[in-house]
A and B are shown apart, each in its own frame.
Chain A
Amino acid sequence: MNEVDFLLWVKGSAFNIALFIFVAGLVLRLFEILSLGRKVNYAVPKGDPMQGGLREIFRRFGTDKATFQRSMITIVAGYVFHIGLFVVIFLLAAHVEVFKSVLGFGWPNLSTPVVDAFAVVTMIALVVVLIHRLQHPVKRFLSSPGDYVAWAVTFVPLLTGYMAYHHLLLSPQMMLGLHILSVEVLLIVFPFTKLMHTFTVFLSRWYNGASMGLRGVKS
C-alpha cells in the first residue's frame, strides 16, 4: 500500500467502519445504561426533580472556592484541554468540512492559525494532566490502564494533526493518513472507555440533580 492508497483507505472504508462502531457503540452503551431503569420513588417530593436535574447539569461546570483551591490543577488544566478539544475538533476549517460531508451541514470555522494555537495549548494541558495523574497519589492510585488508553487516544490525534499541518517528520500526506487513522482508533474505543463520559456526564448530573431536586436541596 503506498501513501495514496493508505490515505484513500483511511478516508474511505476505514473511516466508515470506525464511524459505524462509534455510533453502534454509543447506542449500545446508552442502552446498557438506560435499560437498567430505576425504581419508582414514593417519597413526597419537596421540589421539582426536573428543575434540580437541569440545575446540576449547569452548576457542575463551576465549583465552590475551597474545592477550586484544593483541586486547582485538575480543574484549570481540565478546563483548558476540554475547551481546546472543542475548538480543535469542531472549529478547524478542515474538520468542519468533514462534518459537512458526514452530517450534510456545517458551521462557521475559526482561522487555522488560531485553531493551531489552541491545539498547542491543548497538548500542553494534556501533558500537564498526565504528569499530574502520574504524580498525584490519589490519581495515580485510581488510574487503570483504561485511563491511560483514553489519554493516549485523545492526545495522538492532536499531535499527528499538528505535525501534518506543520509538515513535520513524515510527508504531510502520510502524516494526515496517520492523523485520520488515530481519530478512527479514538472513535472505535470511545464508547468502551471513560471517554464515554462526554455523553453520560449529562445523564449523571441529571440523575444526581433530580435526586437533589426531589429532596429540595439547592446547592
Chain B
Amino acid sequence: MSTLTLERGINAFKAQIDAPMASFFSSCVSCGMCAEACLFYTENPDPRHTPIYKLEPLRRVWEQEYTLIGKLKAKLGLSKPVTDAELAEWQELVYNNCSLCGRCTLICPVGNDITYMIRRMREGMVASGHAPEGLIGASTRAVNIGSPMGVKLPALQAQVRHLEKSSGLEVPFDKEGAEYLLMLSSMEIMNYPEYLGAVAKILTNAGKTWTLSSECFEATNSGIQIGSSDIARELVSRVVAAAEKLKVKTVISPECGHAYTALRWEGPNLIGRPYTFAAKHIVEVLDELRAEGLLQTEGFEESKLTFHDPCQLVRRGGVVEQPRNLLNMVAKNFVEMADHGTLNWCCGAGGGVSANEDAEEVKLKAFQRKKKQLDELHVDTLVTACANCRIQLEEGMEVNQMDIPVLGLTEMIAEHLVERKGGAA
C-alpha cells in the first residue's frame, strides 16, 4: 500500500463529496437535534459527540473546494486548511463514537443523511492514515485470511461435521444450482454455532436447496466499517464470485446488521453493476417461508420477551415487520421497547465499534441507553437478529449485572419448528 498522507486523505474527501452532501452541509442550521438522537452523546454528553460535528473536517473541505465563498475565504486567508493533527483528533469521533446507526439521519429536521456522510468521511480517514488499529487488523485479516476474526475454512468444516453428526442434517458445500447460498459471520461460527444448525434445519425442512461455499463463507465486510471502498470491493467480490459460480438464486446474509448493508446496498455499487442473484437477510428469507406456508411452528415461549432491532436492518434496510411476524409465531408475551423499529436505539457497538479496541470504554457507556430501555420493560429474554449486537448486549448485561439471556431470532424459530411432510428433515 502506498504511504497514507494528509494529501491522500483530502483527495479522498474530495472524491466522496456529491450533490446530496453539498445539500446536507448547506442545510444544517446547527440546531443540535442530532446530538439528542445519538447514544454516543446522550450517554456521554460531550458536545464534540454531536453527529454533525464529527463531519467538521469534511465540511470544511467541501466549503473550501466546492463553494465560491469558501474559495474566496481560502484565497484571502480567512479559512484554515484541514490539518493532519485535526484528522488525528477526529479519529476518535468518527470511529469510536459512531456506530453508523442512522438515528441522527432519521431525526434531523432538515433531512441530512449524516450517517451516509460519516461512512464517506471514513474513506478519507483511511487514506490519511487515521483509522483505528483494531479495524486495520480486522480488515487485514479479512483480506488475507477471509475472516476479520481469522476464522479459516477448516474451523467451519469442523463445525459442519459436528452439526451433521449431532443433527443428522446434511450441510452441503459448493452445491451448484442450489436456491440459496448461505453466508455466515465469523462471530456466528465462533460464538453462536447454533445459528448454522437452526438455518440448516429450517431450510431443509422447507424443502429448499441450499449450500455453503468453501471459497467464501464470510459475509461481514470490514472494508465497509473502516471505510475503504477498495477493501470492501475485494471482500464483496468474493461473495459475488462464489454466488455466480454456484449459480444460486439468492444469497442469504446472516444475522448481522452491517453485512446486510454491505451485501444488499453497497455491494452492487462497489462492483459497479447489479447482481445476477438476490441478496436477502435471513429474517427476510424466513418471513418469506412463513408467508409461503413453508415455515410452521408449534408451542410458545412462556417468558416475557422483547426484540432489539439491529440498526442496519430497520433504519438502513427497511426490515421492520419481518422479525415481528416471526416472533409473534412463537411468543405470546412479546413487548416492544418504548423506541422500537426505525426509532430503536443502537446496541452501541455497530459500524466497526466492536472491532475497535480504542472504543472499549465508550461502547459500554453507550450501552447504558439500551439498559434504560430494558429496565423499563422487565423482560426475561431479549431477542435480536445480529450476532454483533448480541455479543455487545451480552457483554453490556454482564458488566451491568443484568440477568437477561439474549437469543438469536433464527434459533428461536428453529426450536419451535414443525416437521413438514415433503421437507427433508
Given known A-B contacts A71-B33, A201-B27, A142 and B110 have beta carbons under 8 A apart: no
- Find residues 50-97 in chain A having any chain B CB closer than 8 Å to their own CB: 56-57, 60, 63-64, 66-67, 70-71, 74-75, 78
Partner of A70, one of B20, B36, B278: B36
Shortest CB distance B159–A (Å): 31
Task: Flag if B47 contacts A141 (CB, 8 Å).
Answer: yes
Task: Flag if A197 contacts B29 (CB, 8 Å).
Answer: yes
- Find residues 16-61 in chain B having any chain A CB closer than 8 Å to their own CB: 17-24, 26-33, 35-37, 41, 45, 47-48, 50, 52-53
Could you tell me the distance between the alpha carbons of A153 and B223 in the complex, rounded to whole angstroms? Answer: 45
Given known A-B contacts A74-B33, A197-B27, A141 and B50 have beta carbons under 8 A apart: yes
Q: Residue among A33, A34, A136, A212 with the most chain B CB within 10 A?
A: A33
Task: Flag if A39 contacts B112 (CB, 8 Å).
Answer: no
Verify if B391 is at the interface (C-beta below 8 Å from A).
Answer: no
Task: Flag if A67 contacts B27 (CB, 8 Å).
Answer: no
Task: Flag if A215 contacts B265 (CB, 8 Å).
Answer: yes
Task: Flag if A142 contacts B23 (CB, 8 Å).
Answer: no
Could you tell me the distance between the alpha carbons of A144 and B25 in the complex, rounded to whole angstroms? Answer: 14
Q: Residue among B17, B32, B37, B320 with the most chain A CB within 10 A?
A: B32
Shortest CB distance B321–A (Å): 9
Task: Flag if B27 contacts A204 (CB, 8 Å).
Answer: yes
Chain A residue at smallest Cβ distance from B34 = A138
Range of interface residues on A (Cβ < 8 Å): 35 or more
Chain B residue at smallest Cβ distance from A210 = B20
Q: Given the complex, which residues of A lie within 8 Å of B21, measured CB to CB? A: 36
What number of residue pairs across chains A and B have CB atoms under 8 A from each other? 173
Given known A-B contacts A211-B113, A217-B317, A33 and B23 have beta carbons under 8 A apart: yes
Q: Residue among A63, A143, A208, A216 with the most chain B CB within 10 A?
A: A208
Task: Flag if B342 contacts A200 (CB, 8 Å).
Answer: no
Range of interface residues on B (Cβ < 8 Å): 35 or more
Verify if B214 is at the interface (C-beta below 8 Å from A).
Answer: no
Q: Given the complex, which residues of B lie within 8 Å of A33, measured CB to CB? A: 19, 22-23, 26
Could you tell me the distance between the alpha carbons of A209 and B342 in the complex, rounded to whole angstroms? Answer: 14
Verify if A42 is at the interface (C-beta below 8 Å from B).
Answer: yes
Shortest CB distance B34–A (Å): 9
The stretch that binds A, out of B85-93, B101-109, B182-190, is B101-109
Q: Given the complex, which residues of A lie within 8 Å of B303, measured CB to CB? A: none
Verify if B314 is at the interface (C-beta below 8 Å from A).
Answer: yes
Shortest CB distance A27–B (Å): 12
Verify if B274 is at the interface (C-beta below 8 Å from A).
Answer: yes
Task: Flag if B31 contacts A139 (CB, 8 Å).
Answer: yes
Q: Given the complex, which residues of B lie within 8 Å of A167, measured CB to CB? A: none
Verify if A166 is at the interface (C-beta below 8 Å from B).
Answer: no
Shortest CB distance B31–A (Å): 5
Given known A-B contacts A32-B67, A139-B30, A217-B316, A37 and B19 have beta carbons under 8 A apart: yes
Task: Flag if A64 contacts B343 (CB, 8 Å).
Answer: yes
Interface residues of chain B, those whose CB is within 8 Å of chain A, are 17-24, 26-33, 35-37, 41, 45, 47-48, 50, 52-53, 66-69, 105-113, 116, 264-269, 271-275, 278, 314-320, 338-339, 342-343
